[in-house]
Structure 1
Amino acid sequence: MPTTPDAPPSGAPDAAALERRLRAAPDDLAATQELAGRLFQAGRAADAEPHARNAVRLAPEDARCHTLMALVLADTHRPQAAEFHYRRALALAPPDAATVANLAWSLTRQGRLEEARRTYRRAAALHPSIALTWHGWAQTEDAARDLPAAQRLVDRARRLDPGHRGADTFAAALLARQGAGQPALAVLHASAARHGGTDPDALLETGRILDRLGRHDEAFAAFAAGKALLRQAGRRYGEEEAVDLIARLATFFVAPRLRLMPRPATPAAGPQPVFIVGAPRSGTTLVEQILSSHPAIAAGDELPSLGAVVRALPQTLGSPLGYPEALSELWMGDQRDGLERLRDAYLRHARKLVPAKPGHTLFTDKMPFNETHLGLIALMFPSAPVVHVLRHPLDVVLSMMGTNLTHGFHCANDVETAARHVLRVFDLVEHYRREMPLRYLPLRYEDLVREPEPAVRRLLGFLGLGFDRRCLRFEENRRHARTPSHAQVAEKLYSRSIDRHRAYRTHLKPAIPILEPVILGLGYSL
């Protein structure tokens, strides 16, 4: 949990004023740093990044420049690069507790938990009164599966800063996972009373705890209230944009057009991707945890690499068109190597994030809804395995309602919008399967849970790997899954998540007619 730059003093220039100042004097270091910090504090890390980068260019031996760059990189899921800049900042100035704690958090995000622990101890010794240090350390102990230690540390964070809502919510989640559901609810209720109200994450955690206690109507009311707050904060489904993109993908990726496409002429070297696709909360994290128990497979988690390729694609191919239409440049004689360049850009990006080791021949990429881009995946990696994890669509929508998600154009903040987006993506996958060859394996979550060994044998065989019994003992895999499902995949297989929707059928009623074609098409029952 990284700390952030100090809040600007009263009367400090706003972002617009700083931008005007930089237009007049582009090399103004103080204004560049101030603008980067201001944008970052406003939750606009992507907008802050160009200014943070320019600050490093202007003053490569200035510790604050490296700290700003590290914060931006950490916030945009690039912990390895963030680590570099935190270390540069610490080498250029006397160590401060916040930067040391932020370095520790970047190590946690890379799964280097023992290093993170040592670094948090150093941060706490430098300044023992920073609540965020203890909260981040608690999350590291959670990742290491030491829940009592995590509880002690987060409770210290709460004592240091009684106003830290996130620490209250995390403390409640830890209590619930240790079987103390009622005390967990008491923590959340006390937090809401202390703050004069609640927040989305606390409401969603309340709903998850109530769900475990079998209080389903109360649980869904908490889910719905949390999602309402997210919508009020502007997190509404970008339906127009989603519909437009999916329609354009379906129009572009058709067999006659695809027959004109070149194919990568040379194979890429090094570990190759396995795309684990599916809706959020469909079981993709479980599949990745199983696969990464095999000695030939490294876990990539939710890699942003395909998204980065999509965003840069028009520029990479020198096209005036957007994605996917910019792929028509591949029909030009001077762009016949375009797919190799796109593929290699993906691999360069991914390999900066994946902790591959000697012996790894494959790595996983499980970004939710990556199946939206199956056409591009198949063009860049014609032989890449695609594992499509399927789960009863009503269970998927219910689980999405209980989790704070941004995937799928913010579709998960309402039952109906989640259902509509799941349907749209399912239809698009069926379109891809009709129009182009795919190395595609549908894998039902329910089959994996009920009969794990046959499902795992089938999965490994699809990847061309021999069966390894460690994949059946995935809960012994000590890697930290950096997703909302990290706690579940640290447990042995359980069936309590199958058909959860039955207890919520009244609340999910608006989704049923929307999802009926998918439910029946996948062989599930209504």
Structure 2
Amino acid sequence: MTAARTADFTATLARLKTALSCHDRAETNSCVGRLLDERAPLGEQWRAISHLMQVSGELTLALRAIDAFIAASKNKPMARYAKVVLLIQAHRQHEAHNLLKALPDDVPDRGGRAYVLGNTAITLGRLDEGRAYLLKSVDYRPGWGPAWLSLANAGNIADDPIGDRMLTEAAAAEQHGQADLARFCYAVGKLYSDRGDTGAAFASYARGAGLLKLGTPYNRAANATNARLAMTGFTIHSFDRGRKSEPANVSRPIFVTGLPRSGTTLVEHILASHSQVHDGGELNIIQQIAVAAGGTSGEALARYVASGGETNTLGNLYLHLLSERFGPAGRIVDKTIDASRFLGLIATALPDAPLVWMRRDPLDNAWSCFRTFFIHGVAWSYSFSDIAHHFNLEDQLLLFWKTVLGDRLLVVPFTELVDAPALWTSRLLKHCGLAEEAGPYAPHLTKRRVSTASSLQVRRPINREGVGVAEHYRELMRTFVEKYKG
């Protein structure tokens, strides 16, 4: 390499470092693009750059950078496995599954490979294949909580021999790390729940939650402050139309929010059964818009505009990141958790985006949250006192957003939806500006990936199985009943 090229790469890296420190997205992307175009000899650094681009939502650059890392490693299997991880994070499970199957059996290791293949297969709706891989995973790693939890969640295991096998591996599970042991506890809780043993199920879930709480304590003050800021500075006049310019295709995203386990995945599945709609899942890219705006409050948005920023720029950034995930065509359901904290920003930057809020019976919702292992960690879900605190905050947010957004926000009661699915499906389609089609009225017939805890439920006809699920646990949930104000 010539001295001139070396100097040029060094200068570009210096610009990249400065751009990162200033949170200059455009300059960051420009520098990474130039390094890629010039095939900079960055070796292992390409992996870090790929991760940086993935975190910021720039998946095109992230994938190019991971390919550069693979090339620099001379196509080593572990480097290609890094691309498998990236593809999964980008919700491209089919590509990830096929790439991993092409790698050697010991990449990253036999148990880990079987685990990833099992989960991607289940996400893609191939349950038998997924279970077979997951059973291989526990063959290699007896008592391993992550694999057992995936197996437990792959269906009702009350009369399945794998349930008895799971219990025989309890001692082996104790030898794994705290986080893995917690997952095993959730798996055993699911087994006892399927078998109708209320006391044993509760005890196992509670132990798993306690282990997780040790590593992820809930900060009530921070959550309350976050909720307060989300509502600060917005009024019924904040969303008046009449701006000089707006981002193109502002109705492309459909936001479905509400508490976790409130039925958001069911609504997403109904909408994604329409020929013009794709499921997005928990995208989290709205957080990038909050970073660009300097916060989620109306006051932060006002400061952004006062400093020369434009709300249509924020909308265009969201739409760009959406296209990075899904390409330029089709409408996308975004059911990011805690979107309630971003609704003011969403309603301003994307003025035509439909907003849907799911409501479920609080006791059922609380129990479903407590018994669910959330892959990214939900600190408030590990005790009923904390669950009640968070639910009370979300109720305040719902009341506020209903007041300031009016008919822009469609509130869907879960029980009413499952009792009268045709009626509510029609309302959802109308609210989202979608033409009537048969698909949304029979969503269980739609084949698509589903990666949340509701993946199996939504593949069955709409039913009332989720109604009244907490009644057997009411006495054990006394703390929630006492502290929840709704």
Normalising by structure 2, report the TM-score.
Answer: 0.82
Q: Quick one: percent identity of the two aligned structures?
A: 21
What corresponds to 1:413 in structure 2?
A: 382
1:512 matched residue in structure 2: 481
Deviations 1:407-452 (A, max 9, x none): 8972212111112111112212212322355511111111222221
**Corresponding residue of 1:350:** 322
One-letter amino acid of the structure 2 residue matched with residue 157 of structure 1: S
Letter in 2 for 1:250: M
Q: Which amino acid aligns with 1:187?
A: M
Counterpart pick for 2:276 among 289, 293, 296 = 296
Change (3 A) 1:407 1:446: farther
The DSSP-based 3-state class of the residue aligned with 1:397 is helix
Structure 1 gaps of 5+ residues are 1-25, 30-48, 315-320, 518-526
CA distance in 1, matches of 2:62, 2:156: 31
The offset of 1:503, in angstroms, is 1.0
Instruction: Name the SS of the counterpart of 1:135 in structure 2.
Output: helix
Aligned pair partner of 1:208 in 153, 168, 190 = 190
Where do residues 452-467 of structure 1 align in structure 2 (5 Å cutoff)?
452-467=421-436
Matches within 5 A, 1:215-294: 215-233=197-215, 235-255=216-236, 258=238, 263=243, 265-269=245-249, 272-294=252-274
* Cα displacement (A) at 1:232: 0.9
Post-superposition CA distance 1:140-182 (Å, at most 9, x none): 22223222322332333334444754234334444x5466445
| Residues in 1 aligned to 2:171 and 2:51: alpha-carbon distance in whole angstroms | 29
Deviations 1:34-68 (A, max 9, x none): xxxxxxxxxxxxxxx99xx89x8999434422234
Instruction: Give the letter aligned to residue 169 of structure 2.
Output: A
Matched residue, 1:8? none
| Correspondent of 2:301 among 311, 327, 330 | 327
Decide whether aligned partners of structure 1 residues 162 and 476 sit closer, same or farther in structure 2, where only a CA change above 3 A counts.
same
Letter of the structure 1 residue corresponding to residue 221 of structure 2: E
- Rounded Cα–Cα distance in structure 2 between residues aligned with 1:322 and 1:295: 33
SS in 1 for 2:65: helix
Matching residue of 1:10: none
In 1, the alpha carbon distance for the partners of 2:244 and 2:382 equals: 40
Maintained 8 Å contact 1:369/1:407: no
Contact kept? 1:294, 1:471, Cα under 8 Å: yes
SS in 1 for 2:332: strand
Query: What's the counterpart of residue 18 of structure 1?
Result: none
Q: For the Cα contact (< 8 Å) 1:168–1:191, is it kept in 2?
A: no
Q: Where do 1:322-471 residues align within 5 Å?
A: 323-329=297-303, 332=306, 335=308, 338-354=310-326, 357=329, 360=330, 362-405=331-374, 410-437=379-406, 439-471=408-440
Counterpart of 2:146 in 1: which secondary structure? Answer: helix
| Residue identity opposite 1:213 in structure 2 | R
SS of 1:467's partner is: coil
Mapping of 1:296-315 within 5 angstroms?
296-314=276-294
- Rounded to whole Å, the distance in 1 between the matches of 2:240 and 2:446 is 44
What is the Cα deviation at residue 304 of structure 1? 1.1
Return closer, same or farther for 1:149/1:306 CA change in 2, 3 Å cut-off: same
Contact 1:289 1:299 in 2 (8 A): yes
| CA distance, structure 1, for counterparts of residue 394 and residue 173 of structure 2 | 42
Deviation, structure 1 residue 504: 0.9
**Residue of structure 2 in register with 1:190 after alignment:** 169
Greater alpha carbon shift after TM alignment, 297-306 vs 240-249: 240-249
Deviates more, 1:424-433 or 1:103-112: 103-112
Q: What SS does structure 1 have at the residue aligned with 2:411?
A: strand
Q: Equivalences for 1:68-79 in 2 at 5 Å?
A: 68-70=48-50
Q: Answer whether contact 2:81 2:107 (CA < 8 A) is retained.
A: no
Matched, 1:142 2:142: no
Query: Structure 2 vs 1, CA of residues 356 and 213 (structure 1 numbering), >3 Å: closer, same or farther?
Result: farther
Change (3 A) 1:394 1:81: farther
The 10-residue stretch of structure 1 (190-199 or 69-78) with the greater mean CA deviation from structure 2 = 69-78
Deviation at 1:278, TM superposition (A): 0.4
Cα distance, 1:350 vs structure 2: 2.3
Choose 137-146 or 262-271, whichever is displaced more: 262-271
User: Paired residue for 1:120?
Assistant: 100
- Structure 2: distance between partners of 1:113 and 1:381: 29
- What is the DSSP-based 3-state SS (H/G/I as helix, E as strand, rest coil) of the residue aligned with 2:68? helix
Contact 1:80 1:110 in 2 (8 A): no
Name the Cα RMSD after superposition. Answer: 3.5
Return the alpha-carbon distance in structure 1 between the equivalents of residues 40 and 146 of structure 2.
34
Question: Could you say if the C-alpha distance between residues 434 and 386 of structure 1 is closer, same or farther in structure 2, counting changes exceeding 3 Å?
Answer: same
Describe the shift of the 1:488–1:110 C-alpha distance in structure 2 as closer, same or farther (beyond 3 A). Answer: farther
CA, structure 1 residues 389+338, in 2 after alignment: closer, same or farther (shift >3 Å)? Answer: same
Cα 1:115/1:435, change in 2 over 3 Å:
closer
2:65 aligned with 1:96 = no
Larger deviation, residues 368-377 vs 242-251: 242-251
CA contact (8 A) 1:131 1:160 kept: yes
**1:69–1:486 distance in 2 versus 1, CA, 3 Å:** farther
User: Structure 2 vs 1, CA of residues 492 and 209 (structure 1 numbering), >3 Å: closer, same or farther?
Assistant: farther
Check conservation: 2:256, 2:355, Cα contact below 8 A: yes
> Mean Cα displacement is larger for which, 101-110 or 431-440?
101-110
In the alignment, is the contact (CA less than 8 A) between 1:264 and 1:380 conserved in 2?
no
3-state SS of 1:441 partner: strand
What is the CA deviation profile of residues 199-222 of structure 1, one whole-angstrom value per residue up to 9, with x for unaligned ones? 221112221222222112221211
Deviation at 1:484, TM superposition (A): 2.1
> Are 1:134 and 1:153, in contact at CA under 8 Å, matched by a contact in 2?
yes
Answer 1 or 2: higher relative contact order, Cα 8 Å, separation at least 6.
2
Unpaired runs of 5+ in structure 2?
1-9, 14-27
Shift of 1:331: 6.4
Query: Could you tell me how far 1:282 is from its partner in structure 2?
Result: 0.4
Q: Is the 8 A contact 1:271 1:363 kept in 2?
A: no
Question: Quick one: which amino acid aligns to residue 216 of structure 1?
Answer: T
TM-score, normalised relative to structure 1: 0.76
Task: Tell me if the contact between 1:389 and 1:442 (Cα under 8 Å) persists in the aligned partners.
Answer: yes
Shift in CA distance, 271/185, structure 1 to aligned 2, threshold 3 Å: farther
Q: 1:75 to 1:249 in 2, by over 3 A?
A: closer
